[in-house]
Amino acid sequence: MGKVAVAFASAAVVAACSVAAVMVRRRVKSRRKWRTVVEILKEFEEGCDAPVGRLRQVVDAMAVEMHAGLASEGGSKLKMLLTYVHDLPNGTEKGTYYALHLGGTYFRILRVHLGGERSYLDVQDVERHPIPSHLMNSTSEVVLFNFLAFSLERFIQKEGNESNSQGVKRELAFTFSFPVKHTCISSGVLIKWTKGFEISEMVGKDIAECLQGALNRRGLDIHVAALVNDTVGALSLGYYHDPDTVVAVVFGTGSNACYLERTDAIIKCQGLLTTSGSMVVNMEWGNFWSSHLPRTAYDIDLDAESSNPNDMGFEKMIAGLYLGDIVRRVILRMSQESDIFGPSSSVFSQPYVLRTNSVSAMHEDDTPELQEVARILKDLGVSDVPLKVRKLMVKICDVVTRRAGRLAAAGIAGILKKIGRDGGGGITSGRSRGEMQMQRRTVVGVEGGLYMKYTMFREYMEEALVEILGEEVSQYVVVKAMEDGSSIGSALLVASSLQS
C-alpha cells in the first residue's frame, strides 16, 4: 500500500512539474510577444518624431514651395490657386444670403441676415446632413447636384415667404471644399476630387454651372453668386470680425489653407490688378510634400492603397479622414505579430474601420480603467481587452495625433514665413527693411471638426506653433476658432461682391 502511495505522489509531482513548465513556457512566450509589441510601438514613435528643428525645416520647405507655386503653373506641389476674392467683407453689408456647403462627409445649408454693422450678423436655420455614400462615387454629377438642389428646395420651403416676400431672387454662395481653377468669383472648373469623392466625369466641368443647372431644373429662383473654397469662407468670416485675419486653415475630413497675398507677388499672373492690391490664394496645401516630413511605413502603405496614391501626402498625415486608419494599421501589425487582441483582431484588417472620432474618444478617455477605450473596442467586436493593451491603444493614438498637430503647426508657420509674419521678414520680394523688422498682430482663423472637437490635436498644434515661432513672436499670432466659418463667410463674400 505504501508503494502505491509513493507512486501516486511521484506521479502528482511529475504532473505538477509539467503544468508548471507549461505555464512558464506560456508566460515566457507572452512576455516575448509583448516585447515585440513594445518594439513596434517604439519604432513607430521614433518614425513619427517631429522635434522643433525638423519642424522648422518643414516650415522653410512650405515657404519655398509657396513661392514656386506663385511663380509659375505647375512649378510646385502647391497649386496656389487664384480665387478672385480681393475685397473681403468689411461690416457694411446688408441683406439676406444663403450658403450651401459641400465638404467631406456632410453638407450644410444656412441663411445669413446682415444689418450693415459688424455686430449685426444673424445666422438662421443651419441644417447639417450626411452625404449618402453612393453619391460620393456616382457615375454622374447629375445625381449629386439634383440631390443638393432638392435639399435646398426643402430648406427654402420651411421658411415660407417670410424672407422673400417681395419675390427677389435668392443669392447663394456655394462653398465647395475641393480644388477648383477659378475664372472669376462665381465660376470655376473642378481640378480633381479629394476626401473620398470620385465622380470622374465632373473633372474639368464648371461647378457653379452644375449646381445652377440642377436648381433651374427644379424651378428654383436661386442664383449661384459665388463659388468659394471652404478655407476662403473661413478667412472671410475671420476678416469680417477682425481685419488682422490674413490666414485661414481647415482641419476636418481633409485639410487646406488660404491666405491674403499681395498681387505683385503672384508672378504667374503679372499685370493682375485689384482694387485692394491683394488677393486670397487657395494653397491646396494637402498636396505639399517634403523629405523632412516624418513618414513611416504605415503612411506609405496607406498612400499606396488609397484612391489617390502619390497625391495629397501632407493631408494624409494631418487630416481626419486618415488619422484613424494610421492607428488601425499600427494595431493590425501588432496583432499579426502577437495575440494581444485574440481571434477578434481580424476586424483591424478592414480599411477605415477605426474612425478618427473614435481615436479622439480613446485618446481623451480619462476614466481610471479606460472604459471608453473598452467600449469602442467592444463595438468593433473586440472584447475583454486587458488594461495594459487599452493603455497601448491610447499611446498609439497619442503618437499619431501629436505628429499631426505638430505638422499642422509647421504648415501654418510656413505661411507666416512666406508673408513676413514669422518675425524673420519672409521670403517675398519687395519688402522694406522696416517691414521685415516690425512684427504685426496676425490672426489665423481655423475651422473643421478635427480642430474644434479633438482637444489634444488642437493643444499639440498650438503648443508646436509657439515652439516654432518662439515666445516673442508667437504673442503676436492669434489662433481663432471659426465655427461654421466656411459657410457663413461664403455668404458674406456674396454680400461683399454684390455691394462693392
User: For 42-72, what is each residue's pLDDT tens digit?
Assistant: 999 999 999 999 999 999 999 999 999 999 9
- The predicted model gives 304-330 an average pLDDT of 96
Give CA–CA dist 352/38, Å, rounded: 24
Question: Can you point out the beta strands (E) in 138-234?
Answer: 170-176, 180-184, 187-190, 222-228
Instruction: Give ∠ CA 276-282-288 in degrees, rounded to 5.
Output: 140
> Which strand (E) or helix (H) includes residue 250?
strand 245-251
3-class secondary structure, 345: helix
pLDDT tens track for 63-108: 999 999 999 998 999 999 999 999 899 989 999 999 999 987 788 9
Total residues found in the chain within this entry:
500
Question: Residue 478 pLDDT more than 50?
Answer: yes
pTM summary value: 0.88
Question: Residue 445 pLDDT more than 70?
Answer: yes
**SS3 helix, strand, coil % of the chain, rounded to 5?**
50, 15, 30
Residue 3: pLDDT band with limits 50, 70, 90: low
DSSP letter, residue 365: -
Whole-angstrom CA distances from 206 to 138, 180, 182, 227 are 18, 9, 9, 10
DSSP letter, residue 167: -
Identify how many contiguous H helices and E strands the chain contains and give both numbers: 17, 13
Instruction: Give ∠ CA 368-371-372 in degrees, rounded to 5.
Output: 120
- The predicted model gives 441-463 an average pLDDT of 97
Give CA–CA dist 450/204, Å, rounded: 30
Question: Residue 10 pLDDT more than 90?
Answer: no
* Torsion over CA: 492, 494, 499, 500 (sign): positive
Give CA–CA dist 449/62, Å, rounded: 24
> Domain coordinates of the chain in residue numbers?
81-240+484-498
- The CA dihedral of 412, 417, 422, 428, to the nearest 10 degrees, is -140
Q: What pLDDT does 2 receive?
A: 60
Q: Which of 15-19, 74-78, 369-373, 421-425 has the lowest mean pLDDT?
A: 15-19
Q: What pLDDT does 405 receive?
A: 98
Question: Residue 296 pLDDT more than 90?
Answer: yes
Contact 315, 303 (CB under 8 A): no
Q: Which of 12-21, 92-101, 157-166, 440-449 has the lowest mean pLDDT?
A: 12-21
Residue 30: pLDDT band with limits 50, 70, 90: low
Give CA–CA dist 130/18, Å, rounded: 60
Instruction: Give ∠ CA 130-136-142 in degrees, rounded to 5.
Output: 105
Four-way CATH pick for 81-240+484-498: 3.30.420.40, 3.90.1310.10, 3.30.930.10, 2.60.40.10: 3.30.420.40
Which phi and psi (to 5°) does residue 296 adopt? Answer: -115, 175
pLDDT > 90: percent of the chain: 67
Question: Residue 22 pLDDT more than 80?
Answer: no
Give CA–CA dist 86/279, Å, rounded: 4
Residue 13: pLDDT band with limits 50, 70, 90: very low
Q: What pLDDT does 331 receive?
A: 96
Give CA–CA dist 497/240, Å, rounded: 14
pLDDT > 70: percent of the chain: 88
Contact 346, 314 (CB under 8 A): no
Residue 434: pLDDT band with limits 50, 70, 90: very low
Most confident of 24-28, 88-92, 230-234: 230-234
> Burial of 280 by CB count in 10 Å (0-12 exposed, 13-18 middle, 19+ buried)?
buried
- The predicted model gives 252-269 an average pLDDT of 93
Q: What pLDDT does 16 receive?
A: 47
Question: Residue 287 pLDDT more than 50?
Answer: yes
Q: Over the chain, what is the mean pLDDT?
A: 88
Whole-angstrom CA distances from 386 to 324, 373, 391 are 21, 11, 9
Instruction: Give ∠ CA 114-256-309 in degrees, rounded to 5.
Output: 145
Residue type, 395: K
Q: What pLDDT does 499 receive?
A: 79
Q: What pLDDT does 115 receive?
A: 87
Instruction: Give ∠ CA 438-440-442 in degrees, rounded to 5.
Output: 150
Beta sheet of 255-262, edge-to-edge order: 81-82, 278-282, 255-262, 245-251, 442-447, 477-481
Contact 279, 91 (CB under 8 A): no
First to last CA, the chain: 112
Q: What pLDDT does 461 receive?
A: 98
Contact 490, 101 (CB under 8 A): yes
Q: What pLDDT does 345 receive?
A: 81
Residue 20: pLDDT band with limits 50, 70, 90: very low
Question: Residue 8 pLDDT more than 90?
Answer: no
105: left (phi over 0), alpha (psi -120 to 50) or beta: alpha
